[in-house]
Structure 1
């Protein structure tokens, strides 16, 4: 018996992996995509080779390009980049008088406003609207391959978080419940900034000692930033914070880390920004976090260095020297 109607917006790698997981868990799930040719091909082959090559999606998964029909459900996953969240919220509002709870998966801030996802949801859906954030150390391809994965689902209330944990949980996907919405978002967003730094570190061949120090001090910057919003420090030390930071800084599948390596190799950043079509969440996030830290008078030297490399033409090697030559201080 099908237990829960939970649909997924976004037929990219993450949306497809989550939709297949949900269908396998005996939920009634539809994967929505805007490209009718893509959806037709996935229906025919059971594969989304553009994003998850040679992976068979669950046979119980359904597909659609009809946006109106997918909004009639118990919960709705939005697996699209941060820049399109507001657009989809507006569409959902027009279709249903009482929208279902949402599960947001993007790790970043809205580029136009530098607002976190919960702020965008509050503006569009109201402050009392129920939603959740799914975040943690996850690569879509590994979830699609059914490799062991742990993550966090933070929701506006405990009941929703626990319900979603039961809906997503499988023998290879283990979610943990939380109500620290802001803390989970901070980890997911800031790790993109530090992944760029990690890519630069690796690209300059600075060694394992430097990488370990970078990840540790990046986590300290996360904790400092989280204090602004009274987040739980345990969240920053958990899967959505430290866990995601370690994964994104150490694995070449990270787009932000790869971008950092290209910078170390002499990438023309201005040209890249003009021509690149792939979303690098860390670029916009660096701008937003740098300015918020400046506003609240918080010292975040790694974030500042990445910002200066991206926007002030600071040579990456010079950035490393400046970080190492900062005035000495107690560790904590």
Structure 2
């Protein structure tokens, strides 16, 4: 059995304690500087206050200042469970702590913007650690539809583990698979990671439909607005294919669990769809952040703001076909210009 050190004690990182412990692996859970209360609770009674479950016996919890102590010299695998906003913080911790290579698997969702393209976060982490320390990391990522609260109570969960090193990814599948956690292998790192990041972004658009229903006149039959949501969902899949293939990814990841599967789950609930609901009601992004979602981290919106200059540059220089990305453009405009989200219905039908 292996010793796994998880950096990040939020709901996603902590939920991974379940399949790891159920497979008999030793788990050391290290919080970030934002996880102090969580780690205090796990230490005191084993309970994760945000997941509202007791973590499995044998999970050893550490505060963020004890990462080196938790890592020791015997960790076999590091699992990065930090949010996309914490990637640079995690890179700093790896660079100051690692003395020799330790394999890494990431559940962080996001993309790093370059001047004329987007880089997958695993590639970004590996490149920065090598540049700053000379250490070459074996690195993988986990994508696909995984609601932390469901995994934390052992509901069936299917994911995709991707790496440029396929034997390493396969070893992780073998290491994690149990009767409720079902990982699959993929070599499409950029495709899986684009889906993992942009499903949050496009879930904002899908969520718009439910919010807009509240502005519409009530009908005698109390009709919903699911047809509109389905159109937007379809368009999101089409545009995920454009973004993936433009960066060298495959369409298979988009119509599979990393894309369609994860977007379906994300659009059901959560902060990204709630932002979409508020935009559908007529609020702008900033009005939502100042009001009903004050203090919330909305990763799809943060991604959109971060990658907007790169995507617009790619559309301008022809690396991306702007006419094929009307929903992307509408979402970027709403997020960066603080304007109403105007769904370009006619353009959706002409973009394929």
TM-score by structure 2 length? 0.84
Q: Distance in 2 between matches of 1:312 and 1:86?
A: 26
Residues 39 and 107 (structure 1), Cα distance of their counterparts in 2 relative to 1, 3 Å cut:
same
Residues 116 and 284 (structure 1), Cα distance of their counterparts in 2 relative to 1, 3 Å cut:
farther
1:26 maps to which residue? 24
1:296 is aligned, of 299, 308, 314, to 314
2:221 maps to which residue? none
Shift of 1:23: 1.4
Matches within 5 A, 1:135-214: 135-205=143-213, 207-214=225-232
Equivalent pairs counted in the alignment come to 321
For the aligned residues, what is the CA RMSD? 2.4
Residues 41 and 243 (structure 1), Cα distance of their counterparts in 2 relative to 1, 3 Å cut:
same
SS of the residue aligned with 2:154?
Answer: coil
Shift of 1:326: 2.9
1:218 maps to which residue? 236
2:346 maps to which residue? 325
CA offsets 1:167-201 (integer angstroms, 9 cap, x no match): 21111110001121111100011111111111111
CA offsets 1:55-113 (integer angstroms, 9 cap, x no match): 12111222122210222411101111112112212222222222311111111235899
Shift of 1:133: 0.8
Matched, 1:71 2:57: no
5+ long unaligned stretches in structure 2 = 214-223, 316-320
5+ long unaligned stretches in structure 1 = none
TM-score by structure 1 length? 0.89
1:244 maps to which residue? 262
The answer as to whether partners of 2:284 and 2:340 remain within 8 angstroms in 1 is no
Residues 63 and 112 (structure 1), Cα distance of their counterparts in 2 relative to 1, 3 Å cut:
farther
Q: Distance in 2 between matches of 1:170 and 1:265?
A: 43
1:96 maps to which residue? 98
Matches within 5 A, 1:6-85: 6-34=4-32, 35-49=35-49, 51-53=50-52, 55-65=53-63, 66-72=66-72, 73-85=75-87
